[in-house]
């Protein structure tokens, strides 16, 4: 149903889209830009993707998924593992992290479909962090745990944003230090 060549150019187009999204933002991305970067002609693009919207959404979906690479998980991560995973995600692929933040904010605030996706993802992550916290401090109340995790996740996202703005910001240490407050 799909040739090897087709799959390969599809991947090239997707990679180019992610790069351009990170560099130029949601509005800076054009079909021509993508095609030039991926060394593909418009006709090929439309043979593999339905629209510009579709390829952007695919890139976004992957970025969101990459925040939490193992959503099933073992069910007994520590909080430090979860924070480390986020640090790795943000520092590992800046492009993806940029796309994630931009889409979460701009898309989340303007596009209902993206908002639903972002909110759903946030809930999942929240639940997982809360479970980890309960495991580490069994005495803690449900409400208090939820609130601590709210603060932790909010601060983590805030730090990530700060670091992307200002590369001299020590994201890793700040992020780890948050655990000592909780």
Partner DNA sequence: TCAGAACTAGAGTGAAAACTAAAGAAAAGT
Partner DNA sequence: ACTTTTCTTTAGTTTTCACTCTAGTTCTGA
Q: Report the nearest approach of DNA to the CB of residue 162 (Å).
A: 30
Q: Report the nearest approach of its own copies to the CB of residue 148 (Å).
A: 9
Whole-number CA gyration radius for the chain: 18
**Contact partner at residue 6 from its own copies, DNA, none, CB < 5 to 8 Å by partner kind:** DNA
Check if the beta carbon of residue 100 is closer than 8 Å to that of residue 67: yes
157 binding its own copies? (CB under 8 A): yes
Q: Which of 109, 79, 77, 103 is nearest to 25 (CA)?
A: 103
Region for residue 39 given its phi and psi (left: phi exceeds 0; alpha: psi -120 to 50; beta: otherwise): left
**Contact partner at residue 42 from its own copies, DNA, none, CB < 5 to 8 Å by partner kind:** DNA
Check if the beta carbon of residue 163 is closer than 8 Å to that of residue 169: yes
176 binding its own copies? (CB under 8 A): no
Judged by DSSP in three states, 122 sits in: helix
Site string for DNA, 9-48 (x = CB under 7 A): x-------------------xxxx-------xxxxxxxxx
- Single out the residue of 45, 79, 87, 98 in contact with its own copies (rule: CB under 8 A): 98
104 binding its own copies? (CB under 8 A): yes
Total residues in contact with DNA, by rule CB under 7 A: 25
Count CB-CB contacts under 10 A for residue 99.
27
Q: Which residues bind DNA (CB under 7 A)?
A: 1-9, 29-32, 40-48, 51-53
């Amino acid at each position: 149903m799909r040739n090897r060549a087709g799959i390969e150019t599809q991947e090239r187009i997707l990679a180019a889209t992610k790069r351009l999204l990170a560099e130029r933002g949601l509005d800076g991305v054009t079909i021509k830009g993508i095609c030039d970067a991926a060394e593909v002609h418009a006709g090929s693009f439309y043979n593999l993707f339905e629209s510009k919207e579709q390829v952007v959404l695919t890139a976004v979906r992957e970025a969101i998924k990459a925040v939490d690479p193992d959503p099933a998980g073992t069910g007994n991560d520590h909080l430090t593992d979860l924070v480390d995973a986020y640090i790795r995600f943000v520092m590992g692929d800046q492009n993806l992290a940029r796309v994630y933040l931009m889409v979460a904010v701009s898309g989340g605030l303007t596009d209902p479909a993206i908002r639903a996706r972002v909110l759903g993802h946030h809930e999942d992550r929240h639940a997982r962090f809360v479970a980890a916290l309960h495991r580490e401090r069994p005495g803690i109340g449900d409400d208090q745990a939820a609130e601590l995790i709210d603060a932790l996740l909010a601060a983590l996202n805030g730090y990530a944003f700060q670091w992307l703005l200002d590369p001299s910001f020590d994201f890793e240490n700040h992020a780890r230090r948050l655990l000592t407050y909780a």
